[in-house]
């Protein structure tokens, strides 16, 4: 018999991408009123775009991994299997890592210290809104299988 926890997934109630987007927007507003910028030359803009491309690639590869094992990518839906291959062999949260790379890349492109640093409160908020709940859910559901995975793979990198 399935427990209520199995049917609901982790108790994540707010989509993590919106956390990062929200902090980017708040930092852009702060930057408008209190600019803290740096001059970006073309090589640094290329670096910024490269960081965003890497982030998109990570999300694409991670989503393919979820599809491959036929489990949900959304943290509020039930998980049927621990994904531990591909980018998940290097990071337990590669999608959140990718989300954190976006404001870094965007900050470099725009030359905004505020936007670049917005990943810090976003990561902290994501830990409490999503990661902590996901880890509790996965520990309850998969027990030693997830605990073994946690000992082998770091949360971020």
pLDDT tens, residue by residue, 88-103? 999 999 999 999 999 9
Whole-angstrom distance, CA of residue 73 vs CA of residue 135: 14
Counting the structural domains of the chain, the total is: 1
For residue 51, is it within any domain?
Answer: yes
* pLDDT at residue 1, rounded to an integer: 43
Tokens of 18: 């919106």
Is the pLDDT at 4 greater than 80? The verdict is no
Greater pLDDT, 39 or 8: 39
In the chain, what is the greatest distance between 2 CA atoms, to the nearest angstrom?
60
For residue 157, is it within any domain?
Answer: no
For residue 143, is it within any domain?
Answer: yes
For residue 118, is it within any domain?
Answer: yes
pLDDT in tens, 17-60: 999 999 999 999 999 999 999 988 999 999 999 999 999 999 99
Report residue 7's pLDDT band, with 50, 70 and 90 as the boundaries: low
pLDDT in tens, 102-134: 999 999 999 999 999 999 999 999 999 999 999
For residue 121, is it within any domain?
Answer: yes
Report residue 147's pLDDT band, with 50, 70 and 90 as the boundaries: very high
Is the pLDDT at 3 greater than 70? The verdict is no
C-alpha gyration radius of the chain: 17
For residue 8, is it within any domain?
Answer: no
Using CA of residue 20, residue 69, residue 92, residue 126, what is the dihedral sign?
A: positive
Tokens of 9: 């997934």
For residue 29, is it within any domain?
Answer: yes
Are 114 and 26 in contact, with CB atoms under 8 Å apart? no
Are 9 and 141 in contact, with CB atoms under 8 Å apart? no
| Mean pLDDT across 54-79 | 96
Domain span including residue 145 = 15-152
For residue 9, is it within any domain?
Answer: no
């Amino acid at each position: 018999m399935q427990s209520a926890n199995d049917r609901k997934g982790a108790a994540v109630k707010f989509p993590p991408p919106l956390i990062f987007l929200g902090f980017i927007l708040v930092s852009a507003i702060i930057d408008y009123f209190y600019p803290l910028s740096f001059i970006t030359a073309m090589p640094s803009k290329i670096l910024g775009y490269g960081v965003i491309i890497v982030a998109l690639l990570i999300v694409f590869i991670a989503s393919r991994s979820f599809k491959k094992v036929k489990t949900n990518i959304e943290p509020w839906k039930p998980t049927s299997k621990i994904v531990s291959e591909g980018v998940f062999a290097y990071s337990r949260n590669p999608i959140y890592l990718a989300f954190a790379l976006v404001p870094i890349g965007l900050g470099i492109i725009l030359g905004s210290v505020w936007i670049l640093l917005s990943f810090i409160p976003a990561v902290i908020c994501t830990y409490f809104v999503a990661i902590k709940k996901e880890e509790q859910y996965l520990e309850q559901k998969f027990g030693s299988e997830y605990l073994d995975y946690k000992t082998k793979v770091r949360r971020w990198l």
